[in-house]
Structure 1
Amino acid sequence: MNTLKIKFTTALFLLFIAVSNAQMNIIPRPMEISTGEGSFVLTSKTKIVYGKDSENSAVLLASILEKGFHKKPKLKEKGNGIQLIINPELEKELGKEGYQLKTTTKNIQIESATSTGLFYGIQSFRQLLPTNFETTKFLNKTVAIPVVAIKDKPRFPWRAFMLDESRHFKGSDPVKKLLDQMALIKMNVFHWHLTDDQGWRIEIKKYPNLTKIGSYRKDTQLSRKSPERVGKPHAGFYTQEQIKEIIKYAEERHITIIPEIEMPGHATAAIASYPWLGILGTTTEVTQEFGKLDDSFNLADPKVNEFLKDVLTEVFDLFPSNIVHIGGDEVKFETWEKSKDIQDKIKKEGLVSPADLQIFFTNQISKFIEENDHRMMGWNEILGDNVHEWDKENNMEVKEKLSKTAIIHFWKGSLDLVNKAVTNGHEVVNSLHSMTYLDYNYKSLPLSKAYSFDPIPEGLDAKYTNKILGSGCQMWSEWIPTVKQMEQQIYPRIAAYAEVGWTQKANKNYKNFTQALIQLEERWRQSGINYHEGLD
């Protein structure tokens, strides 16, 4: 074999390797992908071709290419280059979030039924670019994009990440950074846990003490069940204007923000702000301790119910999403058993137990939420099932039936409870704590375990699988005070959950995923993200 032929064969082999790597290096893994020979040479002169419905997508793509080539590409309505096409006919096959990405040696075409699908096609295209392309370190004048054809759509419509800022406030910039990374890996729901016992983080104008008092605590428990303290106060909240800014930022990345306003438990920050809200009459400041606390909203007082509706009304006005999460978890029913007000309320309404009262209350809140063109979501305790060992001595009898419009956020208990929820007509987001809680260490929840999670429980009747909306991974922050620690817990496991939510089950492959993760981790490093190194 002559030297020229050897060089040509070697070049073809190296090209095959590059194309194969491109196939593996998109996270989450696409539904269908095929490769061809050759590549498209991308330069600063490559045009972006758009139609009337795809102009915003063209502007987005231009901003990405400008970062690498330091020159804004031209946007045209006709010609070759990178073509962005809205084709409503694709919805039948790929839904509203799916897309097709095709590259030849002459052009690149990204096509979808909607602008959301185009956005996700652009995210896949970004992952075909060098990892440092969007940084100042990229100095090349060309990029070879392999010839490839991708047809892609998500497995689930709900692909969520939750950030708890009640326990430790992080602020706008870290939240925006998280939204950027969520968008890259096609996660579409940011569940924002804004109120709890240890802090109230959202401005409510009718009740200014919620942030004047409720957003501040004098100190913080140092470790579990310890009397030791950190030794300094903790505070912070979002003004309504800041929240609007973050919502807009998320919308530009096709991410819906779902706020969580806890009720009737996890309420001591609110009660400290307005002590008449509580049952015990002893809550006067925001707690420094973590765990399950005794006080909760006094549901027997009509003023308390009016307060909650006032708060929700301002939340409705702020958040354009039509879902509000009310929490509903870990209510200490022992307090309710001992409260004369609560016991009188139970008798007055013809109920049989504190658990029954919670369902009664939750249905009232659900009705109010629906009257305001929203929908209620809550942790699976709102169904009335006993999922806590510390509740076993309490009366958990229920006769009330939860409104079927409520979305159940499953996190604890037997998987039979998921089956019970869907057969009773509820839609479910599956966030089983042992599989999705990002505050757990890597020994108890390694990357491989996170990747293995299936939101559809084994044995669920196929006729109910459409009731499983998807999954969420949760970043609880009790013991995660800094952004650096938070990033260690989130990355790389968030990438596994992105693939859990998007990639078809038959296409999941942990070995391929970890190979693709090498490139994504390099992107995180370039972005200054402090990810956990190693698979476990």
Structure 2
Amino acid sequence: MAYSLSLKNRSAATLRDFRLCISGPCQIDLAATAEGGSVGKRLSTFTELLPPDGYALDPGATWTITIHGLSWAFQHWTDGARGAYLAFVDGSTVSVATSPTRRVGGNASPKRGVESYPVPETPPAPISVIPWPNAVSVANLKTAPAGLALAAEGDEAKAAAIAFTALTEALFSVEGIVRPAEEGGLPVYLRLKDGPAAEAYELAFSPASVTVAASGRTGFLYGLVTLGQIWRGAHHFPGAYGFPTEGTIADEPSMGWRGLHLDVARQFYGTAEIGKLLAVLAWNKLNRFHWHLSDDEAWRVEIDAYPALTEIGAWRGHGLAIPPLLGSPPERSGGYYSKAAIREIVAHAKTLGIEIVPEIDVPGHSHALQQAIPDLRDPAEKGSYHSVQGFPDNCLNPAREKTYEVLETIFRELIELFPFRTIHVGADEVPLGAWSGSPEALAKLRAIGGEAMAEAHAHRLNVSSHSPLAEAIDGSSAAVLQALFLERLQKFLASQGCVMGGWEEAAHGNVIDRQRTYLCGWRDMKISAALAGEGYRMVVCPGQAYYLDMAASPDWDEPGASWAGASTPEATYAFDPVAGWSAAQRERLLGVQACIWSEPMQDRAVFDRLVFPRLSAVAETGWTRPERKSWDRFRASAGLMPVLYGYP
């Protein structure tokens, strides 16, 4: 595939001695060639393109460079350069406007913003609720009351009422869902009931009031969320939905783990965005937020012992340790979460029934960490290996004692911030050639498996790969080294009273304690089923259905990634996360999780389009029993669910 970029000089001055710097999601291969110029420095999604020696771009003229050799074929309009600037020999830069990538042979208008899901005149269900409850028996539907006047008994009910009021104000500030009786609010009584599970609730409707019964705070909150959804459907679409005055709803989730993963390393999201996203999760009755705080592209959490992590690792820009990536501007950009901000976010999530799982992705995906703490590398390491995302030598060395000194210090500070005491350590996408040029690592291999193992690994030096999926290292010498790393890290976390999470590659070597860990199955459902059969506790989040950065269709005009294919909202909704699993395998299922990887998310309108309503589709799979699911009923209510940014 050829990729052509044209630069037009709209200024009044002739441009000389410049480099055109672009950044992804596109990756220009290390072996790429070019017509009309040459390829200069490259790091993952950042590439310098050079015009011919002595070239001058006169006012009104256009320079075109055509690249042969992409790391993967473009499939969507967001795949090409999303950020660009000119860099001059004096160190100055000038930002360059970019436009959506166009393909030869015709282009429809690029799609952005949430796709409309109109409420039909006669929906399949008389009330609007997502996820759909277990047992619904309601009658005598009327128009919605002016609002809901909450009357809570006891501390747990009062806390839930306060949380629900704040939730509705955050998501639907002007609707007045919660309002006092003197403003026409219908009395809603929150009453404690022994017996129901923590997230279960019951609603009882009468003409004069509604009663919410639950055993604790989260059950009360979820009951109120259901009631709020019913109210919104009847309030906004009185011809389609009604508000019950008779009957009951009894409900509880079918899965305990109903999560969302958010990558904040590749694109940064401020605390206001995180706060509203947590509100959206609560409205979908999702109870886990997997916070991906580090990756090759950035480090996002304050660590007192190592201030360089945020001083260096949290920022990208021209001339910095980490260049502009994934559409970043030449100016310094990025950010991180202070400890004070994290404590507030964790406390806020707790009021919404959400536990937060932080992820520090190691031993791979550690480029930003290594830029901040360079002595983590073996000083005698030579040559190079590259990750699938194009980062050189990005894995922490399992043979160095310094690695564990630094990580144990970091994790001690992290554990203090996250009381759920579940820490995700990544363990994904370690390249086959990792540490192949490190004398320390080779010596460790030699001690474990002998000279042949060490020599075989040394021969993987300077081998790069850009496979559409991560390299499978299971059974390799790289997996042996990673297993040493993970076994030690897991034992440390267990000593701190923590459960360790990892992506499915954490199972390589079978060294981690299955009772003190869980795995996220992301590549292949057969792999997830097999790992469950081996006794691993699994959270299912396959790229083919639950990676919300994947495009919603294979059409060029849709945004998003494509390595795992495309998944329409209906396909995501219909996906069965445990199809073909045995009863024993199902016993090891913790639940499901949607994953947002942020490569295409610099454009927040793209975020909205990719995430909604597929997030709600995953939420319903995690909550609702399979026999009670209905795409037609879900689709009729999907447009009433909140979105993060609200781009049309």
CA contact (8 A) 2:177 2:228 kept: no
Q: Distance in 2 between matches of 1:47 and 1:470?
A: 32
In the alignment, does 2:205 pair up with 1:98?
no
Say which SS state the counterpart of residue 409 (structure 2) adopts: helix
Q: Which residue of 1 aligns with 2:602?
A: 481
Q: Distance in 2 between matches of 1:206 and 1:472?
A: 32
CA drift at 1:305: 0.9
Say which SS state the counterpart of residue 186 (structure 1) adopts: coil
CA drift at 1:46: 4.5
Deviates more, 1:208-217 or 1:33-42: 33-42
Q: Distance in 1 between matches of 2:296 and 2:147?
A: 53
Q: Which residue of 1 aligns with 2:567?
A: 445
Deviates more, 1:235-244 or 1:338-347: 338-347
CA contact (8 A) 1:99 1:120 kept: yes
Q: Distance in 1 between matches of 2:645 and 2:265?
A: 25
CA contact (8 A) 1:40 1:104 kept: no
Letter in 2 for 1:372: Q
Q: Which residue of 1 aligns with 2:193?
A: 87
CA drift at 1:282: 9.0
Say which SS state the counterpart of residue 519 (structure 1) adopts: coil
Say which SS state the counterpart of residue 618 (structure 2) adopts: helix
Q: Which residue of 1 aligns with 2:479?
A: 355
Match of 1:411 among 522, 545, 569: 522
CA contact (8 A) 1:39 1:104 kept: no
Letter in 1 for 2:180: P
TM-score (norm 2): 0.67
In the alignment, does 2:220 pair up with 1:220?
no
Q: 1:40 to 1:123 in 2, by over 3 A?
A: same
CA drift at 1:18: 8.9
Say which SS state the counterpart of residue 551 (structure 2) adopts: coil
Q: 1:152 to 1:291 in 2, by over 3 A?
A: farther
CA contact (8 A) 1:99 1:121 kept: yes
CA drift at 1:73: 2.6
Say which SS state the counterpart of residue 333 (structure 1) adopts: coil
In the alignment, does 2:619 pair up with 1:498?
yes
Q: 1:234 to 1:38 in 2, by over 3 A?
A: closer
Say which SS state the counterpart of residue 291 (structure 2) adopts: strand
Q: Which residue of 2 aligns with 1:48?
A: 151
CA offsets 1:184-209 (integer angstroms, 9 cap, x no match):
01011111101011100000000000
CA drift at 1:346: 2.3
After superposition, residues 35-434 of structure 1 pair within 5 angstroms as 35-37=138-140, 39=142, 42-43=145-146, 46=149, 48-61=151-164, 64=168, 68-69=175-176, 73=180, 81-90=187-196, 95-130=197-232, 145-218=244-317, 219-221=323-325, 231-279=330-378, 290-291=389-390, 293-349=392-448, 353-384=477-508, 398=509, 401-404=511-514, 405-413=516-524, 415-434=525-544
Q: Distance in 1 between matches of 2:352 and 2:212?
A: 17
Q: Distance in 1 between matches of 2:252 and 2:379?
A: 51
Q: Distance in 2 between matches of 1:261 and 1:486?
A: 23
Deviates more, 1:171-180 or 1:201-210: 171-180
Deviates more, 1:266-275 or 1:234-243: 234-243
Unmatched segments (≥5 aa) in structure 1: 1-16, 224-228, 385-397, 532-536
Letter in 1 for 2:231: L
Q: 1:178 to 1:276 in 2, by over 3 A?
A: same
CA contact (8 A) 1:41 1:105 kept: no
Letter in 2 for 1:445: S
Letter in 1 for 2:133: P
Q: Which residue of 2 aligns with 1:33?
A: 136
Deviates more, 1:317-326 or 1:417-426: 417-426
Q: Distance in 2 between matches of 1:340 and 1:259?
A: 33
Q: 1:333 to 1:324 in 2, by over 3 A?
A: same
Q: Which residue of 2 aligns with 1:4?
A: none
Say which SS state the counterpart of residue 433 (structure 2) adopts: helix
TM-score (norm 1): 0.81
Q: 1:60 to 1:339 in 2, by over 3 A?
A: closer
CA drift at 1:22: 4.0
Superposed CA RMSD in Å reads 3.1
Letter in 1 for 2:134: M
CA contact (8 A) 1:198 1:290 kept: no
Q: Identity over the aligned pairs, expressed in percent?
A: 27
Structure 1 segments (4+ residues) deviating >6 Å? 17-20, 280-283
Letter in 2 for 1:73: P
Q: Which residue of 2 aligns with 1:5?
A: none
CA drift at 1:49: 4.2
CA drift at 1:466: 2.3
Q: 1:433 to 1:281 in 2, by over 3 A?
A: farther
CA drift at 1:292: 5.3
Say which SS state the counterpart of residue 261 (structure 2) adopts: strand
CA contact (8 A) 1:293 1:332 kept: no
Q: Which residue of 2 aligns with 1:460?
A: 581
CA contact (8 A) 1:174 1:483 kept: no
Q: Distance in 2 between matches of 1:277 and 1:300?
A: 10
Q: Distance in 2 between matches of 1:45 and 1:204?
A: 44
Q: 1:368 to 1:467 in 2, by over 3 A?
A: same
CA contact (8 A) 2:163 2:352 kept: no
CA drift at 1:169: 0.6
Say which SS state the counterpart of residue 269 (structure 1) adopts: helix
Q: 1:350 to 1:310 in 2, by over 3 A?
A: farther
Say which SS state the counterpart of residue 147 (structure 1) adopts: strand
CA offsets 1:38-74 (integer angstroms, 9 cap, x no match):
5597457956242354221233455659964598537
Q: Which residue of 2 aligns with 1:6?
A: none
CA contact (8 A) 1:57 1:84 kept: no
Q: 1:46 to 1:453 in 2, by over 3 A?
A: same
Deviates more, 1:50-59 or 1:505-514: 50-59
Unmatched segments (≥5 aa) in structure 2: 1-120, 318-322, 454-476, 554-565
CA contact (8 A) 2:125 2:633 kept: no
Q: Distance in 1 between matches of 2:286 and 2:620?
A: 9
CA contact (8 A) 2:533 2:584 kept: no
Q: 1:114 to 1:18 in 2, by over 3 A?
A: farther
CA contact (8 A) 1:159 1:501 kept: yes
CA contact (8 A) 1:22 1:146 kept: no
